[in-house]
Chain A
Amino acid sequence: MKKEDKILSIILIAGLFVFIAVADKFFNLYVQRVLNLCAIYTILALSMNLINGFTGLFSLGHAGFMAIGAYMVGIFTVPVEIRPMVYFMKPMHPAIADIEMPFIVALILGGLLSAFIAFLIGAPVLRLRDDYLAIATLGFSEIIRIVITNAQSITNGSLGIKNIPPVANIWWIYITMIISIAFIVLLINSSYGRAFKAIREDEIAAEAMGINLFKHKMMSFMIGAFFAGIGGGLYAALLGTVDPKNFLFVLTYNFLLIIVLGGMGSVSGTIISAYVVTAGQEWLRFLDEPLSIGGIAIPLFRPGFRMVIFSLLLMIIVLFYRDGLMGTREINWEMIKNFGKRFKLRRVKSGEVQ
């Protein structure tokens, strides 16, 4: 990176911190919550894009990895005193009933456990071809959910865990997001990232270049799962409750929508798209409400309309704009500067004419 660009990046991050401080102080809770969700979905979608877009593995297991992180935070940060109230149907297993962890510890352990489970799952499935890989990872994501639903003395089963201390405020979430993005960007731009892209482009050629396919696929899969676990942990500590229904694979479809819209293989595209889709889904909730204009009921608007639009969006992108917003390109300072210059130039020109 050039020195000038480095300075610009630092300014950008500083600006982001100012924005967070302002948001924290002055924005209402609803807006803050939407901003937080956007950031969490950014982490989740970006980590899925590492696996799917950059390494070319068609994995559909993200909801499961997210669940692992979320439950880790849920199980171990609920204060020991109130656990009997949360686990009222079946008491918590004695082995873990007295273990309580600070949020950050549970968050990181959740990421690590998620990566470990990814390792166990990856060992058999990463050898499979793309479409089988999709089904197998989807299956494992469901198995994780089924295990969570059934392991009642640990996870409280289908009742879910309530009263999770909602410690994930906007600072926690945004700082975690910045770290995650930075790590993934640095990784992608390293020799390992190039190896991932090589695998995506042509496995046989990559292997002929001495790249161990399995090792690198596993690496990408586990790192992606780690950040999915982190995203899940933040999610649990933002909402204050988790239950197995939060992690249906429809959630994975949502992440898929984000990365397809943003561009499979583009970090900046994923970030933009995570904000557009997440905020869009929040702010378009009115589509699900019956609407009448001047006393005439508009028949389209009723529950479910919003998701019809978003699933249609996924179809339209893949059918007509296959590369999404960015394809595999990135927004960089060069582009922004050029854009700025062009803009300035045009102003000067129009000034001359007048």
Chain B
Amino acid sequence: MTTNSNPLLETQEVTIKFGGLTAVNNLSIEVNKGEIVALIGPNGAGKTTAFNIITGVYAPTKGKVIYDGKDITGLKPDQITRMGVARTFQNIRLFKKLSVWENIMIACHLRLQSNFAGAALRFPKYRAEEKRMREKVHRLIEEFGLSRYQDDQASSLPYGVQRRLEIARALATEPKLLLLDEPAAGMNPKETEELTHFIREIKDKYDLTVLLIEHHMDLVMEISQRIYVLDFGETIAKGTAEEVQNDPKVIEAYLGVEEGA
């Protein structure tokens, strides 16, 4: 197990309470640059909540989130995204009524330098920026096999394509760290298999670090270097795929819990 002294992402004893419910308790995870790390656990374990804390949707009740050596606890989601953390959502959150092309273009907006007047009056600087954005989006669309859907409304796409679009959109923000919340949800084994390769591919190509939540164990075991297991907000195990698989606490937590096939 690699323990780098300077992880890209680190949560230090992060705890969050909703009223009486402690959704995440003392969560301390580390993700090193270039790793793929998985966060697993039964339904309601607090995985998505952990993502929401890392990306600034919720401020933790206690604890710190360190990204790239900087304390990002309590920053707003847009600030965190601008620092290089992008995510997808478990219950797909595309801009439903907008086209595929627009969905990805929107994700380029955060890198825009021109102000609104420069943009509205189409100053040369803005024209150049817009051109660059278009090229970038075009590249992503090709790469993600979305060309034939380019002008379609996001909500009209098949489910699997929507998931792919969400990842493309996240990449358009130019992240260093990518958080994927159940990217394979609703996919059959073949699709899952493809997705596994795809995640590896984009990781290498874009020099990403990946933290993912997933219920498909084959995917998790195949691509993640390390795994954290949550149950009722507690971290009950961590380590490599093998270590975790053989941990009695993990087996107990999953006992009787149906895994997504």
Mark A residues whose CB is within 8 Å of B: 183, 186-187, 190-192, 194-195, 197-198, 201-202, 204-213, 219, 223, 328
Contact = CB atoms under 8 A, between A and B. Distances in A.
A205 B95 contact: yes
Q: Which of A191, A195, A198, A223 has the most B CB atoms < 10 Å from its CB?
A: A191
A141 to B, nearest CB: 24
A186 B89 CA distance: 32
B77 interface: yes
Contact of B95 (A183, A191, A202): A202
Nearest to B95: A201
Interface size class of B (residues with CB under 8 A): 35 or more
Nearest to B166: A205
Interface stretch (B8-16, B112-120, B183-191): B112-120
Interface stretch (B31-39, B62-70, B96-104): B96-104
Secondary structure dominating the interface of B: helix
B133 interface: yes
17 contacts: A186-B120, A190-B130, A192-B119, A192-B120, A201-B95, A201-B96, A204-B93, A205-B89, A205-B94, A206-B106, A208-B57, A208-B81, A209-B78, A209-B81, A210-B107, A211-B106, A211-B109
Interface string B27-61: 00000000000000000000000000001010000
B173 interface: yes
Interface of B: 55, 57, 76-79, 81-82, 86-87, 89, 93-98, 102, 105-110, 112, 114, 116, 119-122, 126, 129-130, 133, 169, 173
Chain A interface main SS type: helix
A202 B106 contact: no
Contacts of B169: 209
A194 B102 contact: yes
B112 A191 contact: yes
Nearest to B126: A190
A186 B116 CA distance: 10
Q: Which 4 A-B pairs have the closest CB atoms?
A: A210-B110, A210-B81, A190-B119, A201-B95
A186 B121 contact: yes
Nearest to A212: B78
Contacts of A187: 116, 119-120
Given A192-B119, A195-B109, A198-B106, 15 more contacts: A191-B105, A192-B120, A194-B98, A205-B93, A205-B94, A207-B78, A208-B55, A209-B110, A210-B107, A210-B109, A211-B78, A212-B76, A212-B79, A213-B78, A223-B116
B77 A191 contact: no
Contacts of B122: 186, 190
